[in-house]
């Protein structure tokens, strides 16, 4: 008999930003990888050495139903994207928690020095009955994972 596994499900999560919990429909871009540089082997033509370089990651992409007003996250996006580079970009830490059935955090990702790089709204069509979705894209320096 195989013991029952208690694996986390991907649909129960929360995002925390400056003490404000924000509900999102979808979060993508949680990945990191070690870059590689290929260097030819001197005198050996059959292969190249593959040497590690710096780690790189994708942008964190957040999708949710359009929030009409009162979101600190949207205010931060507006200030960063519309503010130009004269004032400098204010980075913040963003935390994403994957929850179990009781609402306790199973896995926590903390994205350090994040800042918004893109904001968009889904197409508005009069012949469809769908929610308007806003997409927020954040760049960040690195992330930690805690379990």
Q: In this model, does residue 91 exceed pLDDT 60?
A: yes
Token digits of residue 54: 């710096």
Q: Give me the mean pLDDT over the 58-81 stretch.
A: 88
Work out how many domains the chain is built from and give that number. Answer: 1
Is residue 8 included in any domain, yes or no? Answer: no
Is residue 2 included in any domain, yes or no? Answer: no
Is residue 22 included in any domain, yes or no? Answer: yes
Is residue 91 included in any domain, yes or no? Answer: yes
**pLDDT tier for residue 108 given thresholds of 50, 70 and 90:** very high
User: What pLDDT is attached to residue 128?
Assistant: 85
Q: Which residue has the higher pLDDT, 13 or 5?
A: 13
Is residue 71 included in any domain, yes or no? Answer: yes
118 - beta bridge partners? 137
Is residue 6 included in any domain, yes or no? Answer: no
User: What pLDDT is attached to residue 107?
Assistant: 92
Q: Pairing between strand 92-99 and 142-146?
A: unpaired
User: What pLDDT is attached to residue 5?
Assistant: 61
Please state the pTM of the whole predicted model: 0.83
The domain in which residue 122 lies consists of 13-146
Burial of 103 (0-12, 13-18, 19+ CB in 10 A): exposed
């Amino acid at each position: 008999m195989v013991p029952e596994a208690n694996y986390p499900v991907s649909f129960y999560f929360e995002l925390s930003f400056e003490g404000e919990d924000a509900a999102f429909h979808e979060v993508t871009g949680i990945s990191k990888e070690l870059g590689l540089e290929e260097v030819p082997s001197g005198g050996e033509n059959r292969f190249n050495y593959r040497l590690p370089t710096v780690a790189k990651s994708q942008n964190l992409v957040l999708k949710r139903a359009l929030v009409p007003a009162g979101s600190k996250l949207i205010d931060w996006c507006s200030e960063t994207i519309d503010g130009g580079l004269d004032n400098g970009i204010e980075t913040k830490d963003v935390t994403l928690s994957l929850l179990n059935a009781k609402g306790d955090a199973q896995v926590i990702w903390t994205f350090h020095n994040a800042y918004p790089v893109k904001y968009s709204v889904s197409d508005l069509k009069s012949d469809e009955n769908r929610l308007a979705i806003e997409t927020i894209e954040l760049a960040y320096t690195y992330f930690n994972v805690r379990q």
